[in-house]
Each structure stands twice: as C-alpha cells, then as structure tokens.
Amino acid sequence: VRHFHKTVVFCCGFLLTMAWAPLKITAQTAALGANVSRTQTHTLAPTQNMMPPAPLVAPLFVNSADVSSSLVLVNPTTKSASAQVLLRNLQGTVITTQTVSVPASSRLDVSIGELLRSASSSETTGSLVVRRDGKNIAAALSLTDNRQGSASYLDEELAMPMSTSSPMLRSVADDAAASPIISITSIVSVLQHVTIRCLPEHGAAVSRTISLPPNATVLSRGCVASSEPAISFQSVADAPDNSAAGAVGIELSSDGPAGGFAAFGLADHRSGASEYFSAAVFDDPMMKKSSTTIFAGVPVGSALQLASGTYTPMLTLSNFGTKVASVTVTLAAMNGNSPQTRTIEKLQIGAGQTKLLTMQGLNGDQNMQNSFLVKSDAPAGELFVKLAATSDGPLHEVEVLAKDAQSGYDGGGHPWSIADGNESTLILFNDSTDAQRFNVAIGYGSGKAWRKQYTLAPMQTFSLGIRELIEGRKEDDHGNVLPSTLTEGDVLWNTRVNAGQGRLLESNPATAMARNFSCYFWYFISNIWFNGPTAVTSGEQFSEDSSYQTSVDTDDINECFASYDTSDSLFLDYSWTIGNSSALQQVDCGSSASSCVLRGAATGQSSVSVTAFDGTCSASAGPVTVNIVTASLTLRAQNTQSISLDNSTRSQYISDTGGTDQLGFFVGGPSPAGCLAGTEMVGFLAPSSYTGQINLHRTVLSIACYNGSTAASCGSAGPDDSDAAHLDSDPQSGGSQGKVYDIDTPGLLPSSSTPQRFRVNFEEYAALPDGTRISPPLDYYVVLSCSRDLSGVHFVLDVQNDNTIGLGTTPLSWNLQ
C-alpha cells in the first residue's frame, strides 16, 4: 500500500451512478457565517442521505505475469475517510480484507499483487469490493497489460449496483479477434442465473444461461454457445475462441435481486504480432436518460497528442430493442476557431442487430477537437454504442468512453501527468445549443488552484494542453501561473447540468501510450443567502446580492445533500420573488444574475426571496421583510408647546432646562441659567408600524454671533447631530407609533448687559442607519438675543423679529436685515 498525501486527485469512476469528486475543498462555513443573515432552506432533508454508501465492485482483477492490477482510492474532500478492501477468488471465497484510511485530500494506491502476497495467496484472478464509510471515496481499478514491449492500460470502472438498479446490464464490444472475455460477479448471497444474450455483428444471436453462485465470479468467453467457467484469467485469455470474432452487443439479465451482480468485459485484438485488449463496459440500461450518446475529443485523421498514424473512428452499435432504430451520426469538428457540424451517417439498426461503422477518410482537427454525437429514435437504454479510433500506426486503438447526453452530471475530475515525456490534454465539449461557460481548476498544492473560465460555442470541442499552460506560464483569471516544477496533479471542470462533456487524455506519442480518464461527478448548490437592506425609502434603488455554497457528491445525483463543500462555482438560474410589488419593484433581476436590483415604490412592507437552480437541485433564501419607509418632519418650538409625552428624551430635556418641559423661549438650564430656545423635531414615519432605527440629522447651514452689533466667533456651518441622549430614534418607544425625535436647546449665557445674539440656520432630515435619507430636508432658523443685568438674564427685544424660531432661513446680520 502506498500513500500519496498530495493535494492532487487521481481519476476514477464508477459505473452506473458513480462519479468523481473534486479535490479542492474549502470549508467556508465559518467565514461566510457572518454574512448569513437570512434564512436558508435546502430542497431536500438531510435524512435522505443517511443510507450507507453502496459498495463498489470491480468484477475482475488480474495479477498474472502479463497483467497486473492496482486499485486507486481517492478522497477529494476535507474529511478523512476509510474503506474496507475485500478480495474474493472466483469461487467467492474471501482471500483477504484490508481496511485502509484515506486522509483528506489525498490518494491511496493499493497494489492488488501486494495484497495477495500479504495474504500468502497464489490466486491470480478474482473480484474486488470496496466498502466505504462515506461518500467521499472514489475508486478505480487499473489493469496494466505488459504483454507487449510497452505497457497498455485498461481502466476498469467500479460498479455500484444498488437495489434501485435493474437486474440487467448491457455492453458493446468492438470488432475483436475473439469472443469477449466476460467477468460476471455476484454481490449477493443467493444463487442467480444470468442469461447472456449476444447480438453479434455476423451471424445469429447467441444466448445461454449460467449459474452464478453467491459472491462468485464467472469468467468465460461470453458469446459462445457453451463455455466452462475459467479457473483464471490466463486460462481463458490463452484459449481464444476464434469462431466468435467481430463486434457484438452483450446483454446480461439475472433472475436474482436487482443490483445483484456486476460485469466487465475484455475484447482481445491482434494487429500483426501485437495483441491488446479493449474494454467492454457494462451499463444499466435503466440508468440511461437519453437516446443520444456523446464521444468527446476523438482522434480523426492525425492527432498531435498521439503516436503517428492515421486514426479512423469506428462505431459499434447494438440495438437491444424490438424495433428498428434510426440512427444519425454527427461529427462536430473544429475548423480553425469555429465548430462545424456535419452528418456523417444515417443508418438503420434492426432489432437485435449489431453494426460496425468504420468512418474512413474523415478529416478532423489535429488537436482532437472532434466530437461525435450518436442520436437514435430508440428509447433510452436500447441502443448501445461504443467508439474507438483505430490507427495504422504503433498505437492500435484509442477508446473514448460513451457519455449519456442527459446523464445529469455537470462536472468531472481527472488526474494528469506530464512526467516521463507524457502529455496531458483536457478535452471539453459543449453539446448544447447555447454557448456555455466551463470552469477549469488545476490544483497545485496547499489548496491552491489555477482557475480559468472558458466559454465554448455550441458544438465546440476544446483541448487544453497542460504542459503548454505550465511552460507557457499562462495566467488564470486571477493572474496566477502554475509552478514550472509541476508535473502532475488533478484537473477539475464543471459547467451547466447536461450541457457539456469532458475527459482527460494522457498520452505519449513516443511510446504510443494513451489513457483516458472520463470520470464525472456532480456539483450542486447546497445553500444560498443574500444580503441587502431591510429598510429603504421610496424611490431608492438598491441591490440584493446573493451568495451560494457549492457541494459535491462522489456517488449519487439528485440527493441535493451537502456532505462536502467546495469552493467551485456553479452556473445557476435565479428566480427572485417580491412579496408586495406595489411597494417594491424589480428593476433588474435577471435569471442568470446573482443580484436583484430593486426600487422602493411606495411606503409599506414587502418581502424578497430567491431560489437558485443548478439544473438538478435548488436552494432558497427568504422571504426577508423589506420596509419601504418615508418620513416627514415637523418642528415644534412654540412657547405654548411642551415636549411630547412619548418622546424618550423628555427627561433629558427637563434636565437640560433645569426642570421645565416647555418649548420655545425661556430662561432656564443648569446653573447659571441662560436664555434658551427649546426645539423638538418630530419625524413622522410611514408606515407608522416601522420598528427599525431612524435617525434625525441636523446641519448648521450658517451661523453668526454678535456682542451687540459686533460679530463674535461662534463656530461654523457643518454637521450638528445631537448626541445619543438627545435623540429618540426608536419609532415605537414610549408608544409613539412611528415617531422619532430630536431635541435641542440653543442658548446664550451672557455675562454683561451687552446683548449677545445668535443667528443660526439649521437643516434637518431623517435617515436610515445606513445614511439613506427618507425625508426631505426641513430648514429652520433660531434667532436669539439675551443680556444680563443684576437680576439675571433676559431676552432682548431691540431687533424686530428677534427671538423667533421659524421655518425657512433667516438673515444672519445682527439686526436681521
């Protein structure tokens, strides 16, 4: 067992619904928690995810002189994980069990040969089961064929049979030299009978039924009339059945429980003196969601990333249905910078028929920016298609994994390496009818990632050479470059659900090596929140800005349960809902925008909520109440008036004035007394039920002071807000039902008989705590003259209109002229 505590992810995938998870996980919860000021709802309850994860099954491992196997376990999350790896021989007897732990964000390579040696087992063939403790382990089995001078690789996707699966699997094997070798593994404790139905390209259908004992594996030539179960892979590989050559469709159906078995096939090929295998991947037809199969990044003609030669795409199509299927094969190839789509073939596949379509003479893009779409009118799951590109050069065949156009996945994750002269090329394909954005993230350690967004035109295939990114010091969208010493890592991508495909090609033209990593996984939205004001004023335009949390699931789609958060972004559709549109109007709340611009239309109350949809899951926030508040100001300052009873500053006023609650002009205040001008500014709010804080702000517009008729220094214009003790900013305090107050007592404390004079112009307005004005300004003035004699201070009335408080403005001259 070798541990690789790296911040990179190796790629693997699970047949049926297994997918890949991204590596770079960042726990944002704490950081974002401060911003979560709104309610959030998940679309589904967390309890739906309480089921233990289904076991993963590799129906065939081989540890012989020619072929070796290696299990790769990857934990792409921030939580450590453990799994039990169990090897069985063909009879179903457990050879060994080993529990392994996979630390967070790391990969573990398990050599099957070493596992067997540690168990002192001489077994060379069997099956493998991975039992995980959580859905944060992905796994793949890599078979390395060393029969030729250079190793060739086959990636065996682990199956995840479940009770919701169907008791049937189907596959297509390409044009091979012999009947495919099929490994069928029971994962239940009851005897099953599995019927193998083969639809050969040539000749009649072949069908036979085998007995599959509990937990056993039956390994045999699949499409022959009769075959004894092999005792080892070597024994069946060394005895090919040349009478059953050609392409073939294979259907396995069991009388056992649903999800009771898994299968994997190998088709052997001979090219001159060379021998190699291609894979026959079995899928559950019930899991197919569409009748369109996509092959992204196919070598057509020459391919710069591959060994020299002319590559000829070859399609194998098997119709398992009971009706003729009409099939259209389309090639979307790049011509310069533009995608060009052309129909390559229209053909009919009879019921139960398998056809081989060799597309010779096609020209394509040399950077493998070529993708095929195979559409049929058959129901989903009835037409199975396999594509391989054969070459007249040293690299005999390149397989491209078939992807369902409506799989529901929206991302993928693949390992890459440019060590030993290898090249790694990320291939993306937009199979939708609209331009699509693809996020690409290449991890390079310690949680860092090179991130760039690419926009692909409809039917555009895009290849991204990672060596070119590194050696060319290409900057990402944030100005980051990949370290020049980087030779391997993981690449993650995502786009809209069902909008795109992707895979990674690792190749070496010199050694005629090519490996594909086509593992998909599923990003989804698990939370959303938005921030914005909860109070605005009429006519005010403002924005509600939403943020969301992305999560990833390594197993299932459609659960919408956030086990593992990531920092990757999604492509979401937003729906903003306004509760009372007469009070709050939408200005710009587009479906693709995370923000909603609104305008307060009328006083009152409304609400805002948002739902974001990623194509599979949705998350909602709100409704959040938004008040549209306005205020009108009234100045109270007549001598006949007193401070309002519901004004919370009343006690303060009485204290300031030395015991009176009278407004207007009076002699008072703490010792020594002075000539005071008591004012009470009242802000009447609409709606009067508003409970939030409203502040009254006062400004000195202009001011002048005099001793007699001689100007004196007394400050300047500017902000003149009352201190907190002189403000009643709670519109409901004291039962005031929508009123806020500001009290003030400008005054003069003269020390002589020379009149002192105040001439001040004020302006006042009401505002929300964020400063938004919710009232028009109210201008008022205070003019005051006062002198002292032996009996104390007195108001001086030597100037007409002096000692008044009024609305509007006043001249500032000593005599008010």
Partner 1 sequence: MKTKWVLLVFVQVVIATTCTAAQQCTNVTSMTLPDVTKYLSNVDSSDQRNADCVISALHRLKDLGTPDAISLLVKYLDFKRPLTTPEQQGFYLHAPSISSLYPATDLLFAVGKRSVDPLLHAIAHPLTDQQHANAIYTLMLVFRDKAPDGVRAIVQASRSGVDNAGSSNLLRAARRAAQLCVPEQRHECEAAAKQ
| Minimum CB–partner distance for residue 709 and partner 1 (Å) | 15
- SS3 sequence, 662-682? ECEEEEECCCCCEEEEEEEEE
Where is 655: in which H helix or E strand?
Answer: helix 650-657
# binding residues, partner 1 (CB under 8 A): 43
Nearer to partner 1 by Cβ, of 654 and 686: the residue is: 654
| Strand order across the beta sheet in which 181-186 lies | 217-221, 181-186, 261-271, 274-281
182 binds partner 1 (CB under 8 A): no
Nearer to partner 1 by Cβ, of 523 and 741: the residue is: 741
Nearer to partner 1 by Cβ, of 459 and 727: the residue is: 727
CB atoms within 10 A of CB 702: 16
Options 132, 452, 650, 697; binder of partner 1; rule CB under 8 A: 650
Options 280, 705, 740, 812; binder of partner 1; rule CB under 8 A: 705
| Minimum CB–partner distance for residue 761 and partner 1 (Å) | 12
645 binds partner 1 (CB under 8 A): yes
| Minimum CB–partner distance for residue 712 and partner 1 (Å) | 6
- Is the Cα dihedral 651, 654, 659, 661 positive or negative? negative
| Minimum CB–partner distance for residue 714 and partner 1 (Å) | 4
Which x/- pattern over 579-598 shows residues binding partner 1 (rule: CB under 8 A)?
A: --------------------
655 binds partner 1 (CB under 8 A): yes
DSSP class of residue 722 equals P
Beta bridge partners of 301: 311
635 binds partner 1 (CB under 8 A): no
744 binds partner 1 (CB under 8 A): yes
Long-range contacts from 37-41, C-beta under 8 angstroms, 24+ separation: 37/529, 37/531, 38/529, 38/530, 38/531, 38/621, 38/622, 38/624, 39/621, 39/622, 39/624, 40/527, 40/528, 40/529, 40/619, 40/620, 40/621, 41/619, 41/620, 41/621
Tokens representing 446 are 């310690």
- CA atoms lying within 13 Å on the CB side of residue 207: 8
- Please choose, out of 93-101, 176-184, 195-203, 714-722, the segment that lies near partner 1 by the rule CB under 8 A: 714-722
Nearer to partner 1 by Cβ, of 313 and 674: the residue is: 674
From the number of C-beta atoms within 10 Å of its C-beta (0-12, 13-18, 19+), residue 670 rates as: exposed
Which x/- pattern over 50-69 shows residues binding partner 1 (rule: CB under 8 A)?
A: --------------------
Nearer to partner 1 by Cβ, of 139 and 786: the residue is: 786
- Please choose, out of 114-122, 249-257, 339-347, 725-733, the segment that lies near partner 1 by the rule CB under 8 A: 725-733
What DSSP assignment string belongs to 587-635? Answer: EE--TT-SEEEEEE-SSEEEEEEEEEE-SS-EEEEEEEEEEE-EEEEEE
Answer for the pair 252, 282: CB distance below 8 angstroms, yes or no. Answer: yes
Question: 750-781 as b/e, with b when 16 or more CB fall inside 10 Å?
Answer: beeeebbbbbbbbbbbbbbeeebebbeebbbb
726 binds partner 1 (CB under 8 A): yes
| Strand order across the beta sheet in which 461-465 lies | 461-465, 423-430, 500-508, 513-517
Options 204, 723, 790, 808; binder of partner 1; rule CB under 8 A: 723
Answer for the pair 57, 127: CB distance below 8 angstroms, yes or no. Answer: yes
Tracing tokens 């002292």 back to the chain, one arrives at 788
Options 449, 578, 748, 796; binder of partner 1; rule CB under 8 A: 748
790 binds partner 1 (CB under 8 A): no
Phi and psi at residue 167, to the nearest 5°: -85, 35
| Minimum CB–partner distance for residue 805 and partner 1 (Å) | 14
| Nearby residues of 502 by Cβ (< 8 Å), 6 or more positions away | 296, 411, 412, 414, 426, 427, 428, 429, 438, 493
734 binds partner 1 (CB under 8 A): yes
Nearer to partner 1 by Cβ, of 581 and 651: the residue is: 651
Options 35, 582, 638, 751; binder of partner 1; rule CB under 8 A: 751
Q: Residue 23: name the closest of 733, 638, 799, 566 by CA.
A: 566
Position 673, amino acid: A
670 binds partner 1 (CB under 8 A): yes
Torsion of CA 808, 811, 816, 817, to 10 degrees: -120
714 binds partner 1 (CB under 8 A): yes
- Please choose, out of 285-293, 420-428, 686-694, 755-763, the segment that lies near partner 1 by the rule CB under 8 A: 755-763
Options 376, 516, 722, 810; binder of partner 1; rule CB under 8 A: 722
639 binds partner 1 (CB under 8 A): no
Which x/- pattern over 185-224 shows residues binding partner 1 (rule: CB under 8 A)?
A: ----------------------------------------
Options 22, 180, 408, 747; binder of partner 1; rule CB under 8 A: 747
642 binds partner 1 (CB under 8 A): no
Nearer to partner 1 by Cβ, of 485 and 713: the residue is: 713
Options 506, 622, 750, 810; binder of partner 1; rule CB under 8 A: 750
729 binds partner 1 (CB under 8 A): no
657 binds partner 1 (CB under 8 A): yes
| Minimum CB–partner distance for residue 787 and partner 1 (Å) | 10
Cα–Cα distance, 719 to 261 (Å, whole number) = 80
> What are the E-state strand segments in 669-721?
674-686, 695-707, 710-712, 718-719
Options 47, 163, 446, 713; binder of partner 1; rule CB under 8 A: 713
792 binds partner 1 (CB under 8 A): no
Where is 758: in which H helix or E strand?
Answer: strand 756-767
Tokens representing 224 are 């022959």
Site for partner 1 in 487-526 (CB under 8 A): none
Torsion-angle region of 738 (φ positive above 0: left; ψ -120 to 50: alpha; else: beta): left
Radius of gyration of the chain (CA): 39
- Please choose, out of 155-163, 164-172, 226-234, 728-736, the segment that lies near partner 1 by the rule CB under 8 A: 728-736
- Please choose, out of 22-30, 510-518, 721-729, 802-810, the segment that lies near partner 1 by the rule CB under 8 A: 721-729
Options 123, 656, 680, 763; binder of partner 1; rule CB under 8 A: 656
669 binds partner 1 (CB under 8 A): yes
Which of helix, strand or coil describes residue 287? helix
- CA atoms lying within 13 Å on the CB side of residue 204: 3
Cα–Cα distance, 275 to 283 (Å, whole number) = 26
676 binds partner 1 (CB under 8 A): yes
Options 124, 227, 305, 756; binder of partner 1; rule CB under 8 A: 756
651 binds partner 1 (CB under 8 A): yes
- SS3 sequence, 340-400? EEEEEEEEEECCCCEEEEECCCCCCCCCCCEEEEEEECCCCCCEEEEEEEEECCCCCEEEE
720 binds partner 1 (CB under 8 A): yes
Nearer to partner 1 by Cβ, of 150 and 651: the residue is: 651
649 binds partner 1 (CB under 8 A): yes
| Minimum CB–partner distance for residue 639 and partner 1 (Å) | 16
Torsion-angle region of 16 (φ positive above 0: left; ψ -120 to 50: alpha; else: beta): left
**Binding residues vs partner 1 (CB under 8 A):** 645, 648-652, 654-657, 661, 669-670, 674, 676, 700, 703, 705, 707, 712-715, 720, 722-726, 730, 733-734, 744-751, 756, 758, 760
